[in-house]
Structure 1
């Protein structure tokens, strides 16, 4: 203890958001400096001093992630690697750690950069400190919505626990086939020197005022009532963690809690709802860049009723084969097409114009154009996202800015015969009708 009092104060008797396997390695590595002779976990596993040294020696970083901030085809890539810590004081990942303060500082600069169209966090972290984590997660989503730019995350190769909290703030989460996500839970460690002090013939007397002033001190075993209180605090913190993750990702809190802090690899993470798409990590940035570019190439985005179709496969971008004529739609087909377009228009308008969309434009656009979520469900998700401060940033979306720079087809829309300018959803409906031959 006396050799590293500052480190001990940050890791002992403090809740940590760490993947369990990494937690064992973490405390094994610190054991010689903190005088820890044994390591116990909830499963009853006991590691002695020599076993802990062997575990720590076997741990090596698989990838060096300390690279400078990059902008590739309009995508700002923010590395997030190693243990996550509060008030680290370093802008970049450094010495196996990344600070929440550095992540937010880099993200704020990236979202304010006019050359950046979207931001991607490149995650390889087992988690870290609770302090500052939830605030950082909410701030990332707030910055994205204030700038009107999409935020994506890449699990390459791990975003567990505190890393999962940060990844949840993204509008879309990518994962590699070997990537590991999850561990929505909390862990706390307590060390006791009581037996060692007895064997050495030493006694420590703590003079204090206040019954709980010295709870969790390292000179005595943890009393049952203190253990119970610590456990209650961990359960409450896990519930708060699940609520944060569920709100950002559109899941229910019950579904997140049901994972019991398990971790999931690749496709399994997608199946449980912790990731959206399986990708080759080397293609992630180009995939995001292509998505950003596609936003400015069509005015009918969001009318694709099949979420499994790519933009290239939608009716708006498909043309007739060479030498063939496009068959005119039948009356029934035209009616169905018109109804589908009308329903899509109403849904998009309902989400974008909903009161909960105020100050959350990026999230509202994502829910309206890239999901099939109902207006009611979208409003529930928007309500969990912090609204951006009024006047803090340009609230126009990336889609709005791209559309302003595009030559739009001069197609009239049925606006009821008035002189008002057609809104975005009405214009989208008109474009859809022109492309399909449907009659509104």
Structure 2
């Protein structure tokens, strides 16, 4: 029963993440909690995915330059630490670590603009609003461009929508604007196992929503209000970042679904459809054209100094 309670606690966290992707992470946690060893096929897949992530990050490092810092935002979004890098798939990204890298790029005088490379199904809501605010503030200091390459869903879209410009690859997807959480009632299962919990608590609502009993109307209402609050913050941030009305975010933009590139562009969720390399080239051209040109007087003075 400890396994079920661990998963219940995990899923009770408010998530801004595609449910099917969270189900995949849950299956891994399920195996961990049982103490089952991963199959050789699974271990080979994990190793292959880790190698692919490292190769992709190295390619980003090589593509940076010309005053452009490229920051990867890959995998499940968490607040602290990269928590699931040892599982198959795109791994995870910490909002705290990403924010630190963003601050370094803003402070670096050699960096003129920033490109965020996003490939993420979203994640926990914790830390997302804070990172989104930092990206929005960074726009006033340096151009911050983001690209869904090839997925910016839920929390990842929340983050990407704060960039000065947001693009999606031709085969990419963006959206999944919404927040959800789950409650699991294991009371009948525990009763069949002969387990009868007694909760000792202080505070009227301290054990509200616990998995040992059915969810009552008052607890359901509170959990719904908690979800609504995060959804309100999510949609407000997207509306501000994309320069549209909140009603447009709530009544359009997929209403919780991910949208393909063409549909996302039609909904004004992105600024264009482009490959990563083309976005990088555009930023390089923009950087060159924005460099201040010396005045004729300054050129004449330098020529006199040479003479």
Which TM-score tier does this pair reach, normalised by the shorter chain?
0.7 to 0.9
- 1:224 equivalenced with 2:223 (yes/no): no
Partner of 1:245: 238
Partner of 1:65: 53
- 1:215 equivalenced with 2:208 (yes/no): yes
Does the CA contact (< 8 Å) of 1:193 and 1:218 recur in 2? yes
User: What SS class does the counterpart of residue 210 from structure 1 fall into?
Assistant: coil
Shift of 1:7: 7.8
Query: How far, CA to CA, are the matches of 1:273 and 1:283 in structure 2?
Result: 20
Return the match for 2:139 from 144, 147, 167. Answer: 144
User: What SS class does the counterpart of residue 122 from structure 2 fall into?
Assistant: strand
Q: In the TM superposition, what whole-angstrom CA distance separates every residue of 1:258-293 from its partner, at most 9, and x where no partner exists? A: 132221111211111111011123322122212222
Does the CA contact (< 8 Å) of 2:7 and 2:26 recur in 1? no
Partner of 1:75: 68
Return the match for 2:226 from 230, 233, 250. Answer: 233
Query: How far, CA to CA, are the matches of 1:168 and 1:227 in structure 2?
Result: 31
Q: In the TM superposition, what whole-angstrom CA distance separates every residue of 1:218-245 from its partner, at most 9, and x where no partner exists? A: 2122223212221122122211210011
- 1:98 equivalenced with 2:98 (yes/no): no
Return the match for 1:201 from 167, 170, 194. Answer: 194
Shift of 1:34: 5.1
**Structure-2 change in CA distance of 1:196 and 1:129 (3 Å):** same
Shift of 1:115: 1.8
**Structure-2 change in CA distance of 1:203 and 1:33 (3 Å):** farther
- 1:181 equivalenced with 2:180 (yes/no): no
For structure 1, list consecutive stretches of 5 or more residues without a partner in the other structure.
Answer: 36-55, 296-401, 411-440
Query: How far, CA to CA, are the matches of 1:118 and 1:218 in structure 2?
Result: 48
Query: How far, CA to CA, are the matches of 1:407 and 1:115 in structure 2?
Result: 23
**Structure-2 change in CA distance of 1:230 and 1:186 (3 Å):** same
Shift of 1:168: 1.1
Query: How far, CA to CA, are the matches of 2:230 and 2:136 in structure 1?
Result: 21
User: Superposed, which structure 2 residues align to 1:15-414 within 5 Å?
Assistant: 15-33=14-32, 64-66=52-54, 67-68=57-58, 70=61, 71-88=64-81, 94-95=85-86, 96-145=91-140, 148-259=141-252, 260-295=255-290, 402-403=291-292, 405-407=293-295
In the TM superposition, structure 1's runs of 4+ consecutive aligned residues that sit over 6 Å from their partners are: 3-8
**Structure-2 change in CA distance of 1:97 and 1:89 (3 Å):** closer
For structure 2, list consecutive stretches of 5 or more residues without a partner in the other structure.
Answer: 35-41, 299-307
Query: How far, CA to CA, are the matches of 1:75 and 1:173 in structure 2?
Result: 16
Query: How far, CA to CA, are the matches of 1:254 and 1:109 in structure 2?
Result: 36
Q: In the TM superposition, what whole-angstrom CA distance separates every residue of 1:85-109 from its partner, at most 9, and x where no partner exists? A: 112279xx94411000111111111
Query: How far, CA to CA, are the matches of 1:185 and 1:266 in structure 2?
Result: 19
Higher relative contact order (CA 8 A, sep 6+): 2
Does the CA contact (< 8 Å) of 1:4 and 1:33 recur in 2? no
Name the count of aligned residue pairs: 278
Query: How far, CA to CA, are the matches of 2:167 and 2:295 in structure 1?
Result: 32
Partner of 1:383: none
Q: Give the RMSD, CA atoms, in angstroms.
A: 3.0
